[in-house]
Amino acid sequence: MKKLRIWVNSLNLFQQFLGIAFLTVAFFIVFFSSFVDIEIDNFVNSQMYSEIHEAQELYIASDGTYLNENIEHYVYSPSLKKYEGNITAEEKTMLENVDLEKEDSSFIYNSATVSCSVRKLDSEKMLISIYSSIKREAFKNSLTSTVINTALRFIVGLFLLFLVWIVYLIRPLNSIKVYLEKKKNGEIAELKIERHDEIGEVAEALISMNDELEKQNRIKEEMIQNISHDLKTPIATIKSYSESIKDGIYPYGTLEKSVDVITEHADRLEKKVYSLITFNKIGYLQDVDEDKTVNMAVVIGKAIMSCAVLRDDIEIDTNVNESVVFHGEEEPWRVVVENLLDNALRYAKSKVTINLEENLLEVINDGSQIEKDRLDKLFKPYEKGTKGKFGLGLSIVKRVTETYGYKVTGENTDDGVVFRVWRVQQPKKNKKEKHNKIV
C-alpha cells in the first residue's frame, strides 16, 4: 500500500487524471456487464409481459378483432385438442411443452425462441398469446444500445469537462513553477495569476514573500554597509594611534590620553561585535529547562549599573517587586533588560521608568513617540531606528522572550513609549530549529 501511495504521489496531475478516467471507464464496463444488463433484461421482460396482457385484454374485449403486430393470438380447446388460427408447426412444437390444461386462470411461459401467455376464456377454451423472442431481443438490444450511448456521451462529456478543469489547474501551477525557477536562478520574473481560489492565494503569498525577501536583502545590504562603516572608524583610529605611539608621537597630547582614545574605540568595537555575536547566539538557545528561573530584580539591578553611565542626565525610576522570577537563564534576560534600557535611555528626554510585577516587565521612556508605520517593524532584524546602530537590539529581545515563552511589544503612550514583556505560554522545549548566521 505504501509503494502504491508513493507511486501515485510521483504522478503529475494530468497522469493522475488519466488514471482516474481509466478506472471510471473500467468501473462502468464491469458495472454494466454485471448489473445493468440484468436490470435491462428484467425491464424488457416486464414490458413484454405487460404488452401481452394488455393485448389479451383488448383481444377479449373486441371479440377477437384486435390485432397486435408483435403478438399472435390463438384459441385452444383442451377437450378437442384443437387450435383456432393459423398456428405454425414451430409454435405447435413449442406449445407441446406447455401445460395448456393447467387450472390457473393465466400463466407465462418463456423459452429461448418464444414467450407465451396462456389465459382461460371459459371451461372449454383458452387464449394463447405468443410474443416472438426475436422481437424481444431486438427491443432489448435497442434499449441496451440507447443506455450505452447515453452513458458514453455522459462519460465523454465528463471527461472533457475534467480535462478542461485539469488544464485550468496546470497552467497557473506551471506559471508558478517557472516563476520560482527564475527566482532561484536570480533572473527577473513576474507572476500574474488572476484567480481568487487557493491557487490565486498561493500566488499572492509567493509574490508577497518574494517582496519581503527582497526587502530584507536590501536591508541586509544596507546593514552590512552600516556595520562596515561603523567598524571602519574605530579600527582606523586604533591603527593610526597605535602607529603614531610606536613612532613616539602622541596624537592626543600625552601617552595616557592617546591610549585612552585607543581604549575607547576598542570598547566601541567590542560592543558592536558583541551585539552581532549575541544576536547570533540567542538563535541557538536549546533544551530550555521549564523549571529554571531567574530573579528579575537582580537582573534589573545589574542592567541599571551597566547602562546608567550612558546618560547620567536621565533619571531611572524603578518600581520592582523583589520576589518576581522569570523562566530562563540570567545572561539572556540580562541582555533583554540591557537592550530595552539602552533603547529607552537613547530616546528619553528626562526619565526612564522600570516596572516589574508577576509575569510582567515594563520599560517606559518619556521620549518622542514611534511612527505608526514603524511599530510593526520594531523587532525585525536589520531595522534601524532614528538613533539606532545595527537594528539588532530589539531583535535580540524578541528572540529571547519567545524562546522562554514570553511576548514583547512596543506601544506609544500619551507622553512617551513603553515596552512590555509578559508571559504567554510554556517555554519552547528542545528547540531544534536554528537561525541562520548573519556574519
Task: Tell me which amino acid residue 46 is.
Answer: S
For residue 64, report the phi and psi dihedrals to the nearest 5 degrees.
85, 5
pTM over 0.95: no
Report helix, strand or coil for 11.
coil
What is the enclosing helix (H) or strand (E) of 47? helix 37-61
- Distances from the Cα of 375 to the Cα of 242, 378, 409, angstroms: 44, 6, 9
For residues 339 and 302, the answer to whether their CB atoms sit within 8 Å is: no
The average pLDDT across 142-155 equals: 81
- pLDDT tens for 97-117 read 666 665 444 455 555 556 777
Average pLDDT (383-408) is 74
State the pLDDT at residue 9.
63
User: Range with the lowest mean pLDDT among 109-113, 309-313, 356-360, 416-420?
Assistant: 109-113
Label residue 178 by pLDDT band (50, 70, 90).
Answer: confident
pLDDT band at 435 (very low <50, low <70, confident <90, very high): very low
Res 5 pLDDT > 90: no
Cα separation, 37 vs 143, whole angstroms: 10
Separation of alpha carbons 246 and 249, rounded Å:
7
Q: What is the dihedral of CA 221, 227, 229, 235, to 10 degrees?
A: -150
Contacts with 359 (C-beta within 8 Å, 6 or more apart), sequence order: 324, 326, 422, 423
Average per-residue pLDDT for the chain:
77
Helix 330-347 to helix 296-307 angle (10° resolution) is 50
What's the pLDDT band for 431 if we cut at 50, 70, 90?
very low
Predicted confidence at residue 433, as pLDDT, reads 41
Residue 296 is predicted with a pLDDT of: 95
Q: Which of residues 217 and 92 earns the better pLDDT score?
A: 217
Tens digits of residue pLDDT in 18-54: 777 777 777 777 776 667 777 777 787 778 778 888 8
For every residue of 258-311, DSSP letters joined together read: HHHHHHHHHHHHHHHHHHHHHHHHHTT--S--TT-EEEHHHHHHHHHHHHGGG-
Please give the residue that has the higher pLDDT: either 191 or 233.
191
